[in-house]
């Protein structure tokens, strides 16, 4: 954007001749030179880019956010009978709208709804959401690809539970190794 030169004005008071009784007052205006005004103007710094939070996020950022989910262990998870959509969204560190989208897309998620329409997820639904989150966010499946995977692999949930338990055993063994 090209900046237009500014023209500064100096207001000059008229010379007073011993005519204090004159009713008219004249004010003079003198225009300073444009070059002098341009010299005084500091050069504009280029506008800093403000990163928007809208739109698609980079894959690295999505991977980092996928690691931040805080789904409790099974013992803690099954202590409570129902979880609200807000609680589930906080567990997965996503917006509630994404949980609603996954609910509409996948048949294995069936939350209970009260008369008001609030969704209440059972611990089994949370475990199924964990599987869907794993497929979509970590393994980079599309929604259609994740649906196909779930249809073709009927025992995908069991396989996923087995993989999770093996990962827990691995972290336990790595901790023991580090303490030696």
- Across 44-53, 127-136, 159-168, least confident range: 44-53
Is the pTM here over 0.75, yes or no? no
* Alpha-carbon distances of 36 from 43, 78, 81, 113, 137, rounded to whole Å: 14, 77, 77, 73, 60
- pLDDT, one tens digit per residue, over 3-61 is 777 766 666 665 655 555 555 555 555 555 555 555 555 555 555 555 656 677 777 77
- pLDDT, one tens digit per residue, over 72-130 is 787 888 899 999 999 999 988 889 999 999 999 998 889 999 999 999 999 999 988 98
């Amino acid at each position: 954007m090209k900046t237009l030169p500014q023209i500064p004005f100096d207001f000059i008071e008229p010379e007073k001749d011993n005519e204090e009784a004159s009713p008219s007052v004249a004010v003079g205006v003198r225009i300073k030179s444009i070059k002098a005004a341009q010299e005084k103007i500091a050069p504009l710094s280029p506008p800093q880019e403000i990163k928007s939070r809208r739109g698609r996020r980079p894959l690295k950022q999505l991977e980092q956010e996928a690691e931040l989910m805080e789904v409790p262990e099974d013992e803690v998870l099954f202590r409570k009978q129902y979880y609200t959509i807000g609680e589930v969204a906080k567990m997965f560190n996503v917006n509630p709208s994404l949980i609603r989208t996954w609910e509409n897309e996948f048949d294995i998620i069936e939350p209970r709804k009260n008369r008001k329409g609030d969704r209440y997820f059972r611990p089994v639904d949370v475990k199924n959401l964990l599987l869907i989150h794993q497929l979509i966010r970590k393994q980079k499946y599309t929604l259609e690809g994740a649906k196909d995977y779930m249809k073709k692999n009927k025992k995908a949930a069991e396989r996923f539970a087995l993989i999770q338990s093996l990962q827990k055993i691995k972290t336990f063994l790595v901790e023991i190794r580090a303490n030696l």
